[in-house]
Structure 1
Amino acid sequence: MTTTSTTPTPEPEGPGRAARLIRNESTTEIPVHLLFRDQPDPEPVPLAPAVVGSRQGTGEQPRVRRPAAAARRSPQVDPDLAERPAGVLPGAAGVLAGVCGAAGCAAATWWAGLLPPLAAQALRLPVPAGAGLGPAQWAAYAGAGAVGLFGFGGLARGRTGRAWVLGLFGRYRGTVRRTGLLWVNPLLLRRRVDVRLRHWRSEPMPAADASGVGLRVVVLVAWRVRDTARAVLGVEDHETYLRECVEAALARVPVEPVGAGRASTDAAAEALTRMVVADTAPIGLEVFSVRPVRVEYAPEVAAVMQRRRVAALDARHRASVLTSVVDSVEDTVTRLTVRGLVDLDDYERKALVKDLTVAFCSGRGEQAP
């Protein structure tokens, strides 16, 4: 029996070496992994869902698509800064404290013997034995005066549509929206805020139409302060901030000039309102509408655009006149031919059309203002 000798082939080293093979005299090349088909296949490795395919034939590895950053980020204000009601007392409490302080001062004056004799006789008060200003009298004066000043100094009048933002040593202490006579801690810093519905008519602001032609736009903004804490403390001046937001929105939204149509004006107003609402909501402003009320061309292009508009109107008028003349000539020639009033050949028809066109055009030109 002849045995077949098997000689293993040396494996080349290096990163580009071929697959491991077993070579002999009577068999072909057998890959090593075919000898272990009974083993279970390894579990598939999960891949990321967002993958951009590589280019064919370049050997480039797939690239993972990273999420794009947000195009615009809304302004952020301190999330802990939000309007909350402040602790106040009815005005009667302040009046009572002030009266008590005044009465205490009068009693300290009588105790020190400084009350005029006529007043003492009128009130039938006896003269105290130890008259004079001593430490006890000064303490009584200080206490009664502090109570009186604290009582009368904290009186305030709340009005409808107005609010106070209170602060103590730079810290927000609450908002007062109540009306009538109130007592507010006199140590608190008060900032008055108008919370009524307000209409602001801007001055002419720069803008552009869809073609990039410069415009001057006057807008009417309906707005109010919704969160007094953020409007007063979250930004330096909320009215100036609102104006800047409107101007920035006009720079991004194309506005059509007068005569472009109501649909385009409404679309521009809606886009302006949406942008301004998104920019002013973090500082506590509630914007209801931003509507252009006057649109005109910028001074540097006003003359050119006026001439272009006049030329367009003139061309439109000429086109309408020509259409009317052609229709009139056609109707006249058709009626003459159909009724048998004239029998025209081709040359005569052309001459008649020419004469009628000149006559109708002359008549329309005399009727034009």
Structure 2
Amino acid sequence: MKTEKNLVPFNGYFAIVALLLSLAFLIFGIVEGHPFDAILAIILSSLILKGFIIISPNSAKVLLLFGDYKGTIKQNGLFWVNPFFSRITLSMKARNFESEKIKVNDKMGNPILISVILVWKVEDTFKPLFEVDNYESFIRIQTDSAVRKLAGSFPYDHFEDEKATVTLSTNFDDINTALENEVSERLEIAGIKVIESRIGYLAYAPEIAHSMLRRQQASAVVAARHKIVEGAVGMVESALNLLDSKNIITFDEDKKATMVSNLMVVLCGDSETKPVINTGTLNQ
């Protein structure tokens, strides 16, 4: 496989001096009446003019001679090359690419919507022009393929796979690193350097999004209830110990159970508790 070859061009300002001398020779031929010299000067001036190239920052010129790759110029400025060279301009600037939202299945088989943001640049000027047909289309297709493979390798979250150490929705650094490595490997053949690759959009597919939201809400409610009950038990225990230590009232087991039940209802209830005042004895 061929790779990029740097070509050192001639200084364009020296070529300007040569062009001026050729024009002077042309004028001399016309004035002195030497048509052969004038024609020769015209041909020479035309070749010199055709050999000028200007390369802007973060640009490169790929040079071909009758289909044969001769090299690439990445220096900036005014240069002169063989006037018979064909020239192809390539941008070396960093570019953004945001993929379309695609529907794929995660590791557990759940349909999800995902897109990726890719920052890339051309690194080897030979490969994108001569190793692949259309390097921009190649980037889009290979990025899409890498995203599909990544999504199928990890679960969406820990609800589906509690033992998973890496999930799509939580371990962003690990996921983005895995995605960058996968895309870089696929785009190496096209001479593309991946500067950054990260997930731009991630969500459950619409057909299961509502169900998954209810499941998450239920899990949150269960976790909150567990915390409330844990705190309520501690508060009841503290209250009973405090009453007992200060000898405010002595409870038998039935009265203690009744008090615990009432306190748990008050502390764990969803709505505000309305007290019922007992005007008789504690046994009523």
Shorter-chain TM-score above 0.5: yes
User: TM-score scaled by structure 2?
Assistant: 0.80
Contact 1:100 1:148 in 2 (8 A): no
* Residue type of the alignment partner of 2:3: A
Structure 2 matches for 1:90-169, cutoff 5 A? Answer: 90-112=11-33, 137=35, 139-169=36-66
1:92, distance to aligned residue in structure 2 (A): 1.5
**Structure 2 match to 1:247:** 144
More helix per residue: 1 or 2?
A: 2
1:106, distance to aligned residue in structure 2 (A): 2.7
Contact 1:100 1:144 in 2 (8 A): no
Structure 2 matches for 1:182-221, cutoff 5 A? Answer: 182-221=79-118
1:154, distance to aligned residue in structure 2 (A): 1.9
Task: State the number of aligned residues.
Answer: 263
Deviations 1:7-43 (A, max 9, x none): xxxxxxxxxxxxxxxxxxxxxxxxxxxxxxxxxxxxx
**Structure 1 match to 2:268:** 361
Structure 2 matches for 1:50-89, cutoff 5 A? Answer: 79=1, 81-89=2-10
Q: In the alignment, which of 165, 190, 194 is matched to residue 287 of structure 1?
A: 194
**Structure 1 match to 2:277:** none
- The 10-residue stretch of structure 1 (182-191 or 316-325) with the greater mean CA deviation from structure 2: 316-325
Q: 1:298 to 1:278 in 2, by over 3 A?
A: same
Deviations 1:94-127 (A, max 9, x none): 3123323333433343345xxxxxxxxxxxxxxx
Q: 1:100 to 1:304 in 2, by over 3 A?
A: farther
**Structure 2 match to 1:346:** 253
1:221, distance to aligned residue in structure 2 (A): 2.6
Deviations 1:303-362 (A, max 9, x none): 332333233323322332233223322322233234432222222122111111122234
**Structure 1 match to 2:73:** 176
Q: In the alignment, which of 235, 240, 247 is matched to residue 132 of structure 2?
A: 235
**Does residue 277 of the first structure (1) align with residue 174 of the second (2)?**
no
Unmatched runs of 5 consecutive residues or more in structure 1: 1-78, 113-135
- Inter-partner Cα distance in structure 2 for 1:258 and 1:98: 69
- Secondary structure in 1 matching 2:171: helix
- Inter-partner Cα distance in structure 1 for 2:268 and 2:215: 25
**Structure 2 match to 1:333:** 240
Superposed CA RMSD in Å reads 2.8
Q: 1:94 to 1:365 in 2, by over 3 A?
A: farther
Q: Which has the larger radius of gyration?
A: 1
- Inter-partner Cα distance in structure 2 for 1:319 and 1:144: 95
* Residue type of the alignment partner of 2:9: V
1:262, distance to aligned residue in structure 2 (A): 8.1
1:258, distance to aligned residue in structure 2 (A): 8.1
* Residue type of the alignment partner of 1:85: N
- The 10-residue stretch of structure 1 (300-309 or 155-164) with the greater mean CA deviation from structure 2: 300-309
**Structure 1 match to 2:276:** none
**Structure 2 match to 1:264:** 171
**Does residue 312 of the first structure (1) align with residue 219 of the second (2)?**
yes
**Structure 2 match to 1:225:** 122
* Residue type of the alignment partner of 1:292: I
Give the share of equivalent positions with the same residue, in percent: 24
Contact 2:99 2:144 in 1 (8 A): no
Contact 1:155 1:184 in 2 (8 A): yes
More contact order relative to length (CA 8 Å, sep ≥ 6): 2
1:228, distance to aligned residue in structure 2 (A): 1.0
- Inter-partner Cα distance in structure 2 for 1:330 and 1:293: 50
Contact 1:161 1:194 in 2 (8 A): yes
User: TM-score scaled by structure 1?
Assistant: 0.63
Deviations 1:116-146 (A, max 9, x none): xxxxxxxxxxxxxxxxxxxx62x44432222
**Structure 2 match to 1:66:** none
- Secondary structure in 2 matching 1:227: coil
